[in-house]
Amino acid sequence: MTDGTMKKEKKYSPCGINTIALLLSLAVVNAIWLIVSWHGGALIALAFYSVISFLCLRKQHFQAGVIAGILGFGIHLYEFFVLGTSELTGIVQVFFYANLILPVPLTIISYLASCKGSNGTAEITDP
């Protein structure tokens, strides 16, 4: 039965799907890291990637994924070079490197998703 209202079905490009998958992966990695070590940075990253996941999933705002990738990579690159990784051991080291590496493809794929229409083709706008 239909109630007279039609919901617009959102279609995501393959890059959009990959962006959402990477964001959710980063959210899960940080949730597990928070449970394992009670690291405050993991809580901040969990909240950040969850909000960005919502923006990409519900609003198709893939530019937010680009920003999240740049910020995530920049913060962890800073920690790598300035603070060092000598105190990171075991599974915590895995979580750190996941947070360092995964934002790079997130940035690239989010950028590609933001340049493509919902059908996977590039959007052409008239000047």
The per-residue pLDDT for range 14-59, each reduced to its tens digit, is 888 999 999 999 999 999 999 998 888 999 999 999 999 999 988 8
Alpha-carbon distance 70 to 74, whole Å?
6
The CA–CA distances, whole Å, from 2 to 6, 7, 8, 11, 18 equal: 8, 11, 14, 21, 33
The per-residue pLDDT for range 56-87, each reduced to its tens digit, is 988 888 999 999 999 999 999 999 999 888 88
**Domain limits of the chain?**
14-115
Of 105, 103, 36, 111, nearest to 75 by C-alpha is: 103
pTM over 0.85: no
